[in-house]
Structure 1
């Protein structure tokens, strides 16, 4: 059973058999019943005056049964009592009887009740058709003493089990407890105190829900009813009631008048669209390879508050775990068990009647699921709780700017390439990529050319040397040009592919043109051709110089001489080009160092932004939302009333130096009898705060290197402090965002009831966690919670969680597993699911709190009392408040 759901009731409706003001004319009972059915009424209080026509209720009940329609008929007798209102009208009260009592039983009991009227001879007239006929009194003339009526009913029936009393504050014979007149008001108050139900107007609701109407006043439900005396009035007025359409359901409405009775169609639960899990289908093995299994069944779920109870090992938490297993949850922490369930299927009503079926673990649907142990995990690990707070505030996953991050990565890569370039050595272990080394190459080869020159060949050698230099320059240009073309060939296709994808995006209002390679390749190839022709000319010129040597009769080995000139000049030109390259790379290196420091400041801005983002996100929670009604806004602010969250930038010095140690030659920082490794590292790097850290990264000389103030860049060039590759490990550790967040991050600090996290008990931390969960995601998707009482403060459960569930279930489905009777009874759970394990076969039965009988040990009420400690007391305490004895 789906439990308590909303349906239309009319507690005050006269049938064609009514004794007084009967305007049904020729309408039959069949037509009367058909009109009730077409009006979609689930329960009616069939009303007559003082007594029923013989078998009136039974005949009407039989008609519904014959038509195959489930409908509850309660008896409602209307009495005029011998007290008048301020207009001189006799006040009306109603006695509403259980559906288990027949017309004959009611008439028989009342037939011995004397009314206030007497015969002309002074004899008693009794409350029966026969007595009224014999005395010739009309029902419109009869009155009865209120005290006598109540006493007579109590002596023959069981109050709260067989009957309840209703009063009419308005209309003919109405009383007005909100009147100001002394005596009339006193009479009205006395009548109201002895009634459990008000048959009134929608505008009377708020008045009778006030508990300051008079001392010790209790809330009372107002039922809007038609008081129909003719067919066309049937179904025109009614109340919405959230209960099983039974007399017991009526009792529950008296106990929860604010939650279970509405007088108009536009109440929240009838108009608010919320998604809810409609049913869960179970069957097959619970866990692969184990004997325990689900009995094959489909359990319909109530859209409001569903509570799942059962003894230890009965499978109550497995119900929620099974639901959890049908979704691909993104939560990093969950203690929910993975249930295999071969026939496991969850149905979701999206709120508009559209139903989605989830029958595999690949389904994705976002709802709030708190498994057993989840609260404990976060409450015991404050750092994880901080991360969860950020996720709940909607700021988890705000990464450092990917463009800047890519630039940092590129910077560090190019820096490493330069260092490796700078430290490249020749076969004699000399660094070849230094200005000194390349200048020595130029000087040596210039001297060698000088040794080949004499006054006789000087001019020819200089001309040959200049030609060779030009040839080398042009060959060098050709190499660079071809390298550029190769680079273009490698990347142009990829870039054009990305441009095509970008243009196809719906956001590309303006189409970007593709790269035209020919615009670049054509002039480059033309320049290569020009250089090749010029090289041919210069080569021919050098050949001419060789001929001139012979023509002038210079007595030398011309071929060997010019070959050496060519070789030496090429070395000079290569070294000169290398010098330009070294100077450029050195300038680039200096730019890398400066740029790296600027990137560090970008990270500082990012971490400050994260901190501010936490503050801003929390402040947004405190702002009234225009899309919510007043109750919703008040509810969220009530949840947040004891909570304060603020962002704090954390620099974890211990984590920082732990990572530093991994990158260095540990022998240089080995602990001594006087100082630990940590102390020696801190003494050297002098980083004790966030400000110190950013001074280090920006290049300030804060490192203490044997008493000499040193920058981090200068420190990188001291090889004695590093093992192989350690310099680059430290560089990445200090500047890469993925490493920095290990020791520098923004935390979400919080206070609950004015206490910081280190002063809160585990239960209080859990309470904070649940409050924030609900405040950040209060309405809409279902909220599933496994055994909240295990990890939460008991005071919070009683003073806040119970009232919270009573309010929030209107706006979202709540499903909980619990062994706390108060979370079932005092939250007025719409549906109770009982878990049972019979021979390793788990099955579930469900219903509402108004189902069953405790003394007979039947139904949901009995199960609650049997399973939950204090169940009977919870029922008794709740019902005693309203002066209704417990149904036994």
Structure 2
């Protein structure tokens, strides 16, 4: 039977949906329908719509074709009524075979001749007359439009060819504007095989239609139209390469029409409402190519079963078996209906690391005491490549398991965003790092396995520079702290008081100076004369020995200094040698790549022989000085004994004279001791030198502070160079953003490398060092608020601002330290126990609170300036559009904290764009989101607590009547407030 051949051809052909289009009649459809109702008829596995092809009266050189497509549920009588509503021109009769016969015979001889008919045969033969009438017939355009409108329940759709044979584009619209516009606006479907025209109909800008699409859409009333490319098959099975003998499923030039919808009339209506998202003309849609080439990245199905023989503690998820669409899957249902349960299970089976954010599979819920009832259930996740992952629902995936899905629960959003803003966590930055690394070219990675390794390779020189500059800064800060200590008022007061006392001591000492006696004139015996002469010689020798002792003491100090200097130089040389060794080790891999040796770049040689010689000679000289000092002491003691013996032989006058000489010598020695030298700190000259030294400290302090500011600026320059180096890593990501119009123009999404510094982070470190008990630093809250307010005044990415910030903060600390003592210098008064001023200065001027950080700029605003909901949405954009990962994404309540306007303007376009590349499974409390995102699959969840705690799921498309009804029910009987919702609910 011919109908059976048709059914076999339909079943064998690739398309899932067909439309039978016969000129002027539904006979083919009626024949198919009759056969399918007969006993023993073959089974039709495809969807077939009835249709009819017509010609309309039109102001054009040729003839205007028109099509009408009907629901496969339409009654036969409706089709008969439709034909009867069409008026044939010329004869002004409803369309019927009899009317067509009448039209054929009413035609003039010339008209018949043009179409290859003869008057005689048309008049004599009804079949020829019917054929002639069918060939020349044209339908009144208004009756065509009215007939479509009269079909009940919207089960008829006008379908106009555009630039294919006898299409509407051939009408000169500027001359017949009303006629053209009437059909242009009332046809939901147009046929075109031109990609630019297809874009113009569905509302997508292409390079080829950018100049006219606005006017084109204006003419359509800004309602997109579905564009299709029909096969125009004329036989069941075609002849390959012969366009005149195309069969079912053969498309001209490979321009296949793809519609993403249920193979039903509801599905077609859905595609008409969302033509850009739901249709494609070409060999294969890109998403289909993605799926077929990357099956390991798409989940096929999820199932959950109760372990046989387990305790009868409820049905729960037992029997769940759901196929999952590779595009956007929306899980909806009333609160507490089991939506998140399904998301948690899929995440668990996909080895997600987000178990801490599970809302269903956690200890106080499904994984209760002893793991009940979760431990009685097993889940299985099947992938399109045929692989499966099975796990008990009470067991977490082993740590070594690769994460196959990216689960983004609402709690994870909030934790990442809020912790980033407060500076408590760098998890957000780690997410950015992973994405940046995924976009980095292999020529930049050079073997690095992750971002941290890449940074380690690229930034080792920056870190080395920072370490060196901060070492210098630490030394300068220690000297500054020392100068500040010297400038304390009490230090000068103490020295001044000591100087006054020392002057008074000298003054008093001057008062007791012995008067010099005249040398006795009495004649001396020979023996006495010899004794006097010897005494004078001994006195001279004692004075010489005292001078030698002083010289030895000075020499000993010099030698000790030299020995210490040798030790210092040796240590410096050791560090230099270590630095050279480190350089050779650090550059070994790079030098190997370059084919060079370190010795070709630098010559390094240590010569410690001079130090070795000094190390030997200095101790020898020290021993000589020590021996000399002992000998001097021995000789002094001998001379003193001899002096005492000689004094005993003198007469009274001579003895008195010698004693006077000794008293004068002792007095002079004491005066010399009190007067001292500049390097003797307890003497008059030493104290005067100390005062002079204190007079010069302010200048030294200012010079050191200027040097410190210079070092801080250089440290900033290194950090900024480090930031710029990291910024270069963003280039591939920024290129991706520039290539995505949605991200670039609408969201203005930008990666930024900034010098981040948390005010709270600075404050926490600072208040570990200083007390919070004075001025602006009194109390915990006020202290932190002071630092926050100050930080808000400065841009940490600007050199001048950063230096001004640390100087201003330093000024506030100094002010707090001067409370109660306005003359105090430095910050010693506010230091905590065992903390030093240099520790504080190292923190501030070493800029240790600054480091290169990654951030996202969203619509010209920093993430810190966005609301929690906006931050979550931003992160979602980042995950969905920038993340290079291909794994399925599971979203839990992405609309949380967003108003309806933001959902529509931000979230919907992002989800729509993202599902082009990967599978998205979304839990939402708001079915509107599923509707406006045009989810390819909706899963409706219910939880029957009275029926053994049974959780059930029903899956289908939005256009599926059952699912559509549940969407409305979840909305509590109300329709959402989106502009296009009316077209999506039945």
- TM norm. shorter chain > 0.5: yes
Aligned residue in 2 for 1:633: 741
The counterpart of 2:264, out of the listed 230, 246, 249, is 246
Aligned residue in 2 for 1:868: 971
- Residues 198-227 of structure 1: CA deviation (Å, up to 9, x unaligned): 222324324434675557574220101231
Give the 5 Å matches for 1:130-529. Answer: 135-136=127-128, 141-142=133-134, 143=137, 145=139, 159-161=153-155, 164-176=157-169, 179-180=172-173, 182-183=175-176, 186-192=178-184, 195-202=187-194, 203-209=196-202, 212=217, 214=219, 216=221, 218-229=223-234, 230-232=238-240, 233=246, 234-235=250-251, 236-265=254-283, 278-279=298-299, 295=318, 301-320=324-343, 326-328=351-353, 359-360=397-398, 369=408, 371=410, 374=413, 402-403=466-467, 404=469, 408=473, 454-456=539-541, 459=544, 470=555, 473-474=558-559, 477-478=562-563, 481=566, 485=570, 495=579, 498-499=582-583, 501-506=585-590, 512=598, 519-529=606-616
- Residues 554-598 of structure 1: CA deviation (Å, up to 9, x unaligned): 9599xxxxxxxxxxx9xx99x98999xx99x99999978855665
SS at 1:455's partner residue?
Answer: helix
Aligned residue in 2 for 1:7: none
**Structure 1 residues 371-380 or 650-659, which shifts more?**
650-659
CA distance in 2, matches of 1:213, 1:481: 90
CA distance in 1, matches of 2:861, 2:898: 18
Q: CA contact under 8 A between 1:80 and 1:93: conserved in structure 2?
A: yes
SS at 2:57's partner residue?
Answer: strand
Instruction: Flag the 1:865–1:593 CA change in 2: closer, same or farther, 3 A.
Output: same
Aligned residue in 2 for 1:440: none
Aligned residue in 2 for 1:446: none
Aligned residue in 1 for 2:900: 794
Aligned residue in 1 for 2:88: none
CA distance in 2, matches of 1:506, 1:370: 44
Aligned residue in 1 for 2:871: 769
CA distance in 1, matches of 2:760, 2:975: 57
Aligned residue in 2 for 1:21: none
CA distance in 1, matches of 2:630, 2:861: 95
Q: CA deviation at 1:697?
A: 3.6
Q: CA contact under 8 A between 2:58 and 2:64: conserved in structure 1?
A: yes
Q: CA contact under 8 A between 1:277 and 1:346: conserved in structure 2?
A: no
1:663 equivalenced with 2:778 (yes/no): no
Aligned residue in 1 for 2:843: 736
Aligned residue in 2 for 1:117: 99
SS at 1:311's partner residue?
Answer: coil
The counterpart of 2:957, out of the listed 827, 848, 857, is 848
SS at 2:61's partner residue?
Answer: coil
SS at 1:736's partner residue?
Answer: helix
Q: TM-score of the superposition, structure 2-length normalised?
A: 0.57
Aligned residue in 2 for 1:36: 13
Greater Cα radius of gyration, structure 1 or 2: 2
CA distance in 1, matches of 2:735, 2:772: 61
Instruction: Flag the 1:753–1:486 CA change in 2: closer, same or farther, 3 A.
Output: closer
CA distance in 2, matches of 1:519, 1:169: 88
Instruction: Flag the 1:189–1:547 CA change in 2: closer, same or farther, 3 A.
Output: closer
Aligned residue in 2 for 1:835: 941
Any unmatched runs of 5+ in structure 1? Answer: 1-15, 19-26, 125-131, 424-429, 438-450, 558-568, 759-763
Q: CA contact under 8 A between 1:314 and 1:836: conserved in structure 2?
A: yes
CA distance in 1, matches of 2:714, 2:344: 43
CA distance in 1, matches of 2:146, 2:58: 20
With CA pairs under 8 Å and 6+ residues apart, which has the higher RCO, 1 or 2? 1
CA distance in 2, matches of 1:301, 1:367: 16
CA distance in 1, matches of 2:315, 2:699: 69
Q: CA contact under 8 A between 1:327 and 1:361: conserved in structure 2?
A: no
Higher normalized strand content (fraction of residues): 1
Q: CA contact under 8 A between 1:252 and 1:850: conserved in structure 2?
A: yes
**Structure 1 residues 545-554 or 311-320, which shifts more?**
545-554
Instruction: Flag the 1:220–1:500 CA change in 2: closer, same or farther, 3 A.
Output: same
Q: CA contact under 8 A between 2:756 and 2:853: conserved in structure 1?
A: yes
CA distance in 1, matches of 2:473, 2:546: 51
Aligned residue in 2 for 1:561: none
Aligned residue in 2 for 1:74: 48
Q: CA deviation at 1:831?
A: 2.2
SS at 2:276's partner residue?
Answer: helix
CA distance in 2, matches of 1:733, 1:549: 55
Instruction: Flag the 1:744–1:231 CA change in 2: closer, same or farther, 3 A.
Output: closer
- Residues 300-358 of structure 1: CA deviation (Å, up to 9, x unaligned): 6545433221221123234455667754579xx98978758887798999xx9999999
- Residues 782-837 of structure 1: CA deviation (Å, up to 9, x unaligned): 77653344412233334554455445544666543223232122221122233343
Q: CA deviation at 1:523?
A: 3.7
CA distance in 1, matches of 2:956, 2:610: 85
CA distance in 1, matches of 2:893, 2:881: 21
Q: CA contact under 8 A between 1:55 and 1:104: conserved in structure 2?
A: no
CA distance in 2, matches of 1:88, 1:518: 97
CA distance in 2, matches of 1:80, 1:552: 146
CA distance in 1, matches of 2:480, 2:339: 60
Aligned residue in 1 for 2:670: none
Q: CA deviation at 1:261?
A: 1.4
- Residues 236-293 of structure 1: CA deviation (Å, up to 9, x unaligned): 33112222333332221111112211223587756889999633857699xxxx9997
CA distance in 2, matches of 1:255, 1:420: 80
Aligned residue in 1 for 2:28: 52
CA distance in 2, matches of 1:178, 1:409: 85
Instruction: Flag the 1:379–1:649 CA change in 2: closer, same or farther, 3 A.
Output: closer
Instruction: Flag the 1:704–1:106 CA change in 2: closer, same or farther, 3 A.
Output: closer
Any unmatched runs of 5+ in structure 2? Answer: 85-93, 107-123, 204-215, 241-245, 307-312, 368-373, 391-395, 437-450, 489-493, 502-535, 645-672, 795-803
Q: TM-score of the superposition, structure 1-length normalised?
A: 0.62
Aligned-CA RMSD value: 7.4
Q: CA contact under 8 A between 1:780 and 1:811: conserved in structure 2?
A: no
Q: CA contact under 8 A between 1:240 and 1:263: conserved in structure 2?
A: yes
Q: CA contact under 8 A between 2:877 and 2:910: conserved in structure 1?
A: no
Q: CA contact under 8 A between 1:783 and 1:815: conserved in structure 2?
A: yes
Instruction: Flag the 1:606–1:28 CA change in 2: closer, same or farther, 3 A.
Output: farther
Q: CA contact under 8 A between 2:413 and 2:872: conserved in structure 1?
A: no
SS at 2:958's partner residue?
Answer: coil
CA distance in 1, matches of 2:563, 2:837: 40
